[in-house]
Amino acid sequence: MSSSNEAHTWWLSIAAGVVVVAGVQAAADILAPLLLSLFIAMICWPLVDWLYQRKVPAWGAIAIVMLGLIVAMTLIGLFLGQSINHFIDNLPYYQSRLQASLGVLVEWLQRLGIDVSREEFEQTINAGRLMGFAGTLLTTLTNAFANTALILFYVTFMFMEAFILPAKLQAAFSVSSRAFRFERFFANLRRYLRLKTLVSLATGAAVALWLTFLGVDYPILWGSVAFVLNFIPNIGSFIAAIPGILLALVQLGPEGAFYTALGYLVVNTVIGGLIDPRVVGSGLGLSTLVVFLSLIFWGWILGPVGMFLSVPITVVGKMLLEEHPQTRWIAALLGDGRSRTGLPD
């Protein structure tokens, strides 16, 4: 192929990509709940399959899991909704308390020998903006799961489709290697989402227990925030720690905020830095820059759901790129340097 044809192909691909991105953004209201439903369905599918393997009819297995999902989402929604509303109602009180606590924090730092100007410190750290950020974060997470009925509707039909998907793949690709690659792709994706969810649950539970021990308000709420944001490596853990530390500063003072921050650091180091790479595996890892850019990109396209699913969506794209020799080099560039593409681990 001549250089002019190659350039033409590249420009055509870029133009097609721009059109696709614009189309996805225009259809965000439809795609966001659909992607969230796919995420939930792939996590819960092993339970449906487990029931089916034990002679429960397909419709019965789906009904049991869906009933469990409805009960769980209703209870979680009621509890977390009340906690979020209560926190937002008390936000002005927390903002004023935080402003006063910043003065105490400055005095505490000065006693430790750190030369800090109170005026400059309060100008740098705006209490109203910090607590407002916490309220905005909770509102954003709530809006991401607003279409509960539609999500459950989608999940039900995805479960029904999953029972006939293997037969469809065989009919479409016969015994070709492409059918095998599709099956391997879905197996790897299910494994990644399942293990990542378990690790995130462990992170959220550890944060909630630590905050309960310290006496910080709304420990289960902040544990839930840590669970959701743990799907965003590096950045998510830092964002999840901010509301809990600020509230600890208001309630318990500088020392309480220090122990809260220390707890977040220990949890994220042990679970996120040691357990997560061993359990989930480093082969699907993304570079820190790619994680940050995917957070911005998918948040811009799909809104709050895109931010929540930015890393899983990017991991799916990376896995698809790894399946084809022509695009494997792109997957290597997206990776963290320890991927399955032959780079040193």
State residue 260's pLDDT score.
Answer: 92
Question: What is the full per-residue pLDDT of the chain (345 aa) written as tens digits?
Answer: 555 666 667 677 777 778 877 887 787 778 888 888 888 888 888 888 888 888 888 888 899 999 988 888 888 777 777 777 777 777 777 777 777 776 677 777 677 766 666 666 555 565 556 666 666 666 666 666 667 778 888 889 888 888 887 777 677 666 556 666 677 777 777 777 788 888 888 999 999 999 999 988 888 888 888 888 887 766 777 888 888 888 888 888 778 888 999 999 998 888 877 777 666 655 456 777 787 788 888 888 887 777 777 877 887 788 777 777 777 777 787 776 654 443 333
- Domain range holding 51? 31-281
d(C-alpha 107, C-alpha 118), whole Å: 8
Domain count within the chain: 1
- In a domain? residue 333: no
> Whole-model pTM?
0.72
What b/e string do you get for 103-114 counting C-beta neighbours within 10 Å, with b at 16 or more?
eebbebeeeeee
3-state secondary structure of 216: coil
Contacts of 151 (CB under 8 A, 6+ apart): 33, 36, 37, 40, 145
CB-based contact 40:155 (threshold 8 Å):
yes
Contacts of 230 (CB under 8 A, 6+ apart): 199, 200, 203, 204, 236, 237, 240, 272
CA-CA-CA-CA torsion for 57, 59, 61, 67, nearest 10 degrees?
Answer: -150
State residue 123's pLDDT score.
Answer: 56
- In a domain? residue 330: no
3-state secondary structure of 335: strand
- In a domain? residue 275: yes
| Residues pairing with 335 in the sheet | 286
- In a domain? residue 196: yes
Contacts of 315 (CB under 8 A, 6+ apart): 189, 192, 284, 286
CB-based contact 139:25 (threshold 8 Å):
no
- In a domain? residue 50: yes
State residue 283's pLDDT score.
Answer: 46
Q: Tokens 């279409």 map to which residue? A: 147
| Residues pairing with 286 in the sheet | 335
State residue 26's pLDDT score.
Answer: 80
- In a domain? residue 45: yes
CB-based contact 259:215 (threshold 8 Å):
no
User: Which tokens hold the place of 199?
Assistant: 């690790």
CB-based contact 313:31 (threshold 8 Å):
no
State residue 18's pLDDT score.
Answer: 80
- In a domain? residue 16: no
Question: What type of residue sits at position 13?
Answer: S
What b/e string do you get for 156-186 counting C-beta neighbours within 10 Å, with b at 16 or more?
bebbeebeeeeeebeeeeeeeeebeebeeeb
Q: Tokens 């019965």 map to which residue? A: 60
